[in-house]
Amino acid sequence: MRLRYEVAAQTRGIDVKAAAELFWRQDGKEYEARLETVLPLVPRRVQQSTGQITPQGLAPTRYSEKGRSEEAAHFERDKDRLSFSNNQPTVALGAGAQDRLSVMLQLGALIGGNPARYPPGSTIGVQTAGTRDADVWQFTVEAEEELALPGGKHKAVKLVRTPRKPFEQTVELWLAPGMDYVPVRVRLTQPNGDRLDQQWAGTDRP
């Protein structure tokens, strides 16, 4: 399926409107997720995650980000490590590790599989890899909210990742039970105030 989003961004005090699409494909054994964001005057930004589907959920093998150039992280499970295409130091691979795209889908699978296990106030820790490093992202589950989105109204469970280190971004994620817990809103806020707010506008299925 393909999820379409309207995007409102603010960069250096300038408001910008944009669009994004999240493409999702799986056959029960392997998956591919690709998020493309188109902002005015900058190269199209593409995040892509590919990997396996296991009893524990998604198991990424490769994650990449492409703008003016492409960088990637590789999940080397036979060596229990994460390696990076830009020669950054390798990182020990933790159980249930995800990347910055797959983590949104994995959280939806976890909560959707057992909503009672994750009431408001509970926390979920996930080792999350970018293209240069990896760290444990700690998400706090908040109360369900009703959102008025470009594609219609939906109730959604909110999760928040609060930065633990300087220069880290705040991640707010809304997962809709009525849509199999897919992300219907994602808001990223940088320490300098720049932000990106991605809201669901529609779904295309084959």
- What pairs with residue 75 in β-bridges? 82
Q: What is the pLDDT of residue 152?
A: 97
pLDDT confidence of 205, banded at 50, 70, 90?
A: confident
Nearest to 149 by CA among 114, 182, 118: 182
The whole-chain average pLDDT of the chain stands at 94
- pLDDT of residue 39 exceeding 90: no
Question: Which amino acid type is present at position 151?
Answer: G
pLDDT in tens, 87-102: 899 999 999 999 999 9
Cα 25 to the center of its chain, rounded Å: 15
CB 82 within 8 A of CB 91: yes
Per-residue pLDDT band for 79 (boundaries 50, 70, 90) equals: very high
CA 197 → CA 5, 8, 17, 20, distances in Å?
10, 5, 10, 11
DSSP codes joined into one string, 128-158: EE-SS-EEEEEEEEEEEEEEEETTEEEEEEE
Strands 152-161 and 170-176, sheet pairing = antiparallel
**Cα four-point dihedral sign 49, 52, 53, 54:** negative
At CA 37, angle to CA 146 and CA 34, rounded to 5?
90
Instruction: Identify the pLDDT of residue 168.
Output: 87
Average of pLDDT values for 157-177? 93
Closest CA to 151 of 170, 176, 171, 172: 176
pLDDT at residue 10 in the model: 87
pLDDT tens digit sequence for 42-51: 778 999 999 9
pLDDT surpassing 90 at residue 189 = yes
